[in-house]
Amino acid sequence: MTPPLKWPPLSPEADAALTWLEQAETFDGRRGDFDLIVAEATRRAMPTFAAMLPGIALFVLVYGVPQWLGWVRLPEIVANLGWVLVVPATVIVTNALRGTQAIKDEMRMDKALKKWSDAANAASARTPQ
């Protein structure tokens, strides 16, 4: 099934840099690859947030409006805890809109950035300004 939103795939340069970062044993010479993946993740951040808005709106429509109008009377603690469900509802709708490849790409980027963030910070600290 094709996702409703056409999500851009990783560029060939970003995919190559990501592959290098995933397979590398040391950070030596990988600063450019790391910066490229940081830029790619930053570029994808706002569209990802925008894709979350329909999930939030759907949850508010289905859960919040009936409570606000008094159609559903729940004990206060249950009603308030129900709002915690906005997170999984948003994740489900967002992932359905974007498709599996976008999720896989972002998981790969997250893993690589977590793996090398300490080394990148240390390399930045050693570089004279």
Mean pLDDT, each 10-residue run in order, the chain (129 residues): 80 93 85 91 89 88 89 85 87 88 92 87 69
pLDDT at 129: 57
pLDDT of residue 36: 93
- Would you state the structure tokens that stand for residue 40, as one six-digit string? 């790619």
Q: Where along the chain do its domains lie? A: 12-124
How far CA 71 is from CA of 8, 78, 80, in Å, comes to 42, 15, 16
| Per-residue model confidence (pLDDT) at position 67 | 87
Spatial distance between the Cα atoms of 103 and 108, rounded to a whole number of angstroms: 9
Residue 116 contacts residue 34 (beta carbons within 8 Å): yes
pLDDT of residue 122: 79
The CA-based angle 60-87-34, given to 5 degrees, is 130
pTM confidence score: 0.73
Residue 6: phi, psi to the nearest 5? Answer: -80, 105
